[in-house]
Amino acid sequence: MSANLKKTDSKKCSYISVLIRTEEDIKHPLLQPIAHVLTRKINEKDNGFIHWYGEDYTIDVIILKHKNGKTEYELMEESRSRGGHLAKKINSEKSTEICVLKAGESVSKNELLSCIEGISLGNYQFNKYKTEKKQHTLQNILVYDDSVSQNELDELKAILDANEIARNLANEPVINLNSLQLSENISALGKEFNFKTEILYKAQIESLKMGGLLGVNFGSTVPPTFSVLEYNPANAKNKKPLVLVGKAVTYDTGGYSLKPAQSMVTMKSDMSGGAAVIGALCAIAKNNLPVYVVGLIPSTDNRVGSNALVPDDVITMSDGTTVEVLNTDAEGRLILADALHYAKKYDPELVIDLATLTGAAAIITGSLGSALMGTDKTYRNLLIDCSNETFERLWEIPYWKEYGEMIKSDVADIKNIGGAAGGSATAGKFLEHFTTYPWLHLDIAGPAFLKDDEAYKQKGATGVGVRLLYAFAKRFMS
């Protein structure tokens, strides 16, 4: 799991990091041996780090830029990013712990916590399959600050652990994490974090007539699963649940609409939406948030096989809608549709689904954020604010009613693609067809899996959505 977070009453540590912003901060006693260097460095445009070896300790000074009209969330992200870079330095020094503090009130408590968050996120590794493991050394992050409580650090630790759970799941190759194995993981996590789980297997899925989930599964030798996760504490503020739906295609070849080889690499991460929902439930339950939450995770792989769907097939969904399948690589919306219909049984306050759904969304946002669309008006702004707070940012894309006209079919009720224009919006309109409640859709195709390191994120799965959903659940109906 992520590094331990501990409050300390002593700044005596062999490795120390101090956050500063102004010349006044340089007066801090720990900084006196390098005050002359910091005085010059703090006025440079780029600012940055100062690394210094003292007589009996090592110190890293993080120089935060001047506020200059930046929002609190932007300042927090700057600090989070600096923390991610610091994690690399700590491990290069082979240190097992670091003590983090701020030199003065020019640096806020939220910036300090964000830096700690960045250090921990930046400390993540997935080296399970490496014979020679270059294991990170950092194990403990000590926090020297009167305004930060151990309870706050414990809460943050639970969120970071949950993000790591999601990343590990999405980084796992399908040879070791198919739909059945994913459901086993969900059951084990439910026991560990104290939320209920129910796994629906193929016979139950057939009885529910989930034609989308079954159809995508036709080409696979591994049966599908449909996992229900439920956390309903006695003090929940909401009687009607917040329902989170996560796409969990454990591997996506594209089916007979086969992906090119270069696009198929990384498709183990096509279950990142499901991983985010799993991680969010773990964090919410661990921190005993007073909110009733249900997670729904349809899962299968999408392979080529003798019985696999082919373009021109027509399938019937669990709500009776007939769907003309024109592209078997547009499979995520098929399994999500059955889950969205299933969500109706809860009469939900709100449903949020997360999915690595379309390349079109990734083109719009890149790795910098996710595309947002849907029908809800009550909670939309709160979700966007939470996305800015966590810097798992959302951007609303055009979602006009005309996009719905593009998925009308000549031979069935609707078709599963709408053409080249507005690919992410037509996918959203397809999903909307199966909703009768307030609903928001997050297309996380851009930020879910990285090809290069970014500040506190490493190549591979990012666990995007976990921190966002937790922040939203914490503020939900408050």
Q: Catalytic residue numbers?
A: 259, 333
Q: Which of 99, 119, 144 is the last residue of a domain?
A: 144
| Residues 138, 246 within the same domain | no
Residues 271 and 351 in one domain: yes
**Which residue, 144, 178, 204, sits at the end of a domain?**
144
- The CATH number given to whatever domain includes residue 22 is 3.40.220.10
State pLDDT tens for residues 247-284: 999 999 999 999 999 999 999 999 999 999 999 999 99
Q: What is the signed CA dihedral for 141, 144, 148, 149, rounded to 10 degrees?
A: 70
Return d(Cα 151, Cα 22) in angstroms, integer.
29
Based on the domain organization, do 204 and 324 belong to the same domain? yes
54 — pLDDT class (breaks 50, 70, 90)? confident
> Do residues 73 and 106 share a domain?
yes
435-473: per-residue pLDDT in tens?
Answer: 999 999 999 999 999 999 999 999 999 999 999 999 999
The CATH number of the domain where 296 resides is what? 3.40.630.10
Taking the C-alpha atoms of residue 394 and residue 386, their distance in angstroms, rounded to an integer, is 9
Q: Residue 43: pLDDT band by 50, 70, 90 thresholds?
A: confident
174 in the same domain as 129: no
Asked whether residue 152 is assigned to any structural domain, the reply reads: no
186-192: average pLDDT: 98
Q: Across the strands, what pairs with 297?
A: 227
Q: Are residues 140 and 270 in the same domain?
A: no
Report residue 45's pLDDT band, with 50, 70 and 90 as the boundaries.
confident
Q: Say if residue 275 is in the same domain as residue 419.
A: yes
For residue 372, the enclosing domain spans 159-475
pLDDT value of residue 77: 98
- Total structural domains within the chain: 2
Asked if pLDDT for residue 1 goes beyond 80, the answer is no
Same-domain pairing of 191 and 244 = yes
Amino acid at 284: I
Question: Are both 456 and 331 inside the same structural domain?
Answer: yes
Judgement on whether residues 378 and 405 belong to the same structural domain of the protein = yes
Q: What percent of the chain has pLDDT over 70?
A: 100
**Residue pLDDT, tens place only, 356-391:** 999 999 999 999 999 999 999 999 999 999 999 999
Q: What is the mean pLDDT of the chain?
A: 97
Distances (CA, A) of 279 to 39, 107, 187, 378, 393: 43, 30, 13, 25, 18
- What is the predicted pLDDT for the residue at 46? 74
Please state the rounded mean pLDDT for residues 118-123.
98
Burial of 395 (0-12, 13-18, 19+ CB in 10 A): middle
- Please write down the HEC assignment for all residues of the chain: CCCEEEECCCCCCCEEEEEECCHHHHHCHHHHHHHHHHHHHCCCCCCEEEEEECCCCEEEEEECCCCCCCCHHHHHHHHHHHHHHHHHHHHHCCCCEEEEEECCCCCCHHHHHHHHHHHHHHCCCCCCCCCCCCCCCCCEEEECCCCCCHHHHHHHHHHHHHHHHHHHHHHCCCCCCCHHHHHHHHHHHHHHHCCEEEEECHHHHHHCCCHHHHHHHCCCCCCCEEEEEEECCCCCCCCCCEEEEECEEEEECCCCCCCCHHHHCCHHHHHHHHHHHHHHHHHHHHCCCCCCEEEEEEEEEECCCCCCCCCCCEEECCCCCEEECCCCCCCHHHHHHHHHHHHHHHCCCEEEEEECCCHHHHHHHHHHCEEEEECCCCCHHHHHHHHHHHCCCEEECCCCCHHHHCCECCCCCEECCCCCCCHHHHHHHHHHCCCCCCEEEEECCCCCEECCCECCECCEECCCCHHHHHHHHHHCCC
Of the pLDDT bands very low, low, confident and very high (cuts 50, 70, 90), residue 48 is confident
Question: What are residue 99's DSSP bridge partners?
Answer: 16, 142
Q: pLDDT per residue over 398-409, tens digit each?
A: 999 999 999 999
> Are residues 290 and 211 both part of a single domain?
yes
